[in-house]
A and B are shown apart, each in its own frame.
Chain A
Amino acid sequence: MTNEELKAYLQTWDDKLEFIEPVPDDTSLITVLDDLSGTWLNVEVPLSHLKGFMRQLHADKETAFDYLFNMTGMDWGKELGVIYHLESKRHGHILVVRARTADRENPVFPTMEDIWNTAHLHEREIFDLLGIRFEGHSNLKRIFLTPDFKGYPLRKDYEDDYMILRK
């Protein structure tokens, strides 16, 4: 499906979805391009609707997103979030889903492990480096850093005078 069809289809599911238009804007980060096939459709989902939306994306036959090829944890300065890149092997379209939370003390996201098992290790990595907890994950532990490490290095406000010399 093309981006317009996908957008129209997804809008019938939920009207609270925010579709980010590829228009330059001072305050938002936008997607400009992808690998030679045009823009990828970006969608921002409120956190409370995320799990249901993802489940529907996976189960629905028209969209059939069965391949989660990237999960990126992001720190947007004030908010933390996750960006999911989904692809459908059957239809060939790509969707980028993002969700954010303003809670920096105790950010909690729903886990995608039961839908796409790729998320098992990716979520451990995001927890390790950014501190986002994933509810329902089978083994949420630090993966790269030692278990007694304090802090979450990828956050923008992470201070370490010994290891980080440049500012």
Chain B
Amino acid sequence: MNMLSINIFQNWLNHTHGIWYVLVLAGIAALYLGFFAVAGLMLVYLERRVAGYFQLRLGPNRVGPWGLLQTIADALKLVSKEIFMPKFADKLLYKIGYYIVIVSSLVALAVIPFSRQIQALDINVGIFFVSAVSSVGVLGILFGAWGSRNKYSLIGAMRSGLQMISYELSAGFAIIAVVLMAGTLKMTGIVEAQKDTWFLFQGHLPAIVAFVIFIIAGTAESNRVPFDLVEAEAELGAGFHTEYSGMGFAYFFLAEFINMFIISALAVTLFLGGWLAPFGITDGLPAQWLWGMVWFFVKVLAVIFLLMWFRWTFPRLRIDQLLTLEWKYLLPIGLVNTVIMAFIVWKDWLIHI
């Protein structure tokens, strides 16, 4: 397949109706679901391996070559667990909880640009869409915890709600700083605008500040250490998913990893050049859609490694320290940063290599 045939495919898709259209869309959706599942599996395996190396031990390496099938074995085990519901639980909320987190992650996945040609939806408000949809995930956590009728879960979910709402703001300001440089909300537009230099270097100081703020806010959005008091095992048992077992728990677990993937993908798209090769190394080769995807995944894995490094090194913050960090430090810095970025863009003092 080359670019010509993908264009032909896109043209056909835009002009077809009827049963073929629906079938092809269903096929693409299934492809994304498959990607979701495989990415989730691979990320869990990667986390355990990386954790092992940080803790001076090997990770799982028995099941399958280099332990690659470990997560599948875990999934089989989880599927075989007894599915129960606490007696006084609110049935509807308890069951909806985990579906909502998965759906919100999947929908956010749809607009991530894996390559110039590989993207499910290329709407003109891409970044805004992702930001909005990932906030819906909080509802899933709150439903699940309220439906579980458990004090520990409720405490965890209350903390989570606060945390997510607060850090959305900071992430939003970091995104705005980038949008100012790109001039468009469209995901492909943002990546195209980094053709000569990545935004991280283009915007020099304000972009670096925005990157740091985005990584911090992203770690908080996906409930990872140092902001993982939502599910702080040492304090609350297991936080909001205490009362879930088997696949219900697996869904929450998977959704957390996919959220981490989405945050990393956003960071890569906004700051590190998306699918673009650094210095245009592989631009002359055929099958550009493949090379784009390769660069994209390399960069995403680098950012994911950074997030995992945080997890295995830092202790966790308390809820009031977390909120202090957000409202008293990150938000004012984000605001000032946006103003500086606007000034720099207006004066065109960007760095182009």
A–B direct touch in complex (beta carbons closer than 8 A)? no
Interface residues, chain A, CB within 8 Å of chain B?
none
Interface residues, chain B, CB within 8 Å of chain A?
none
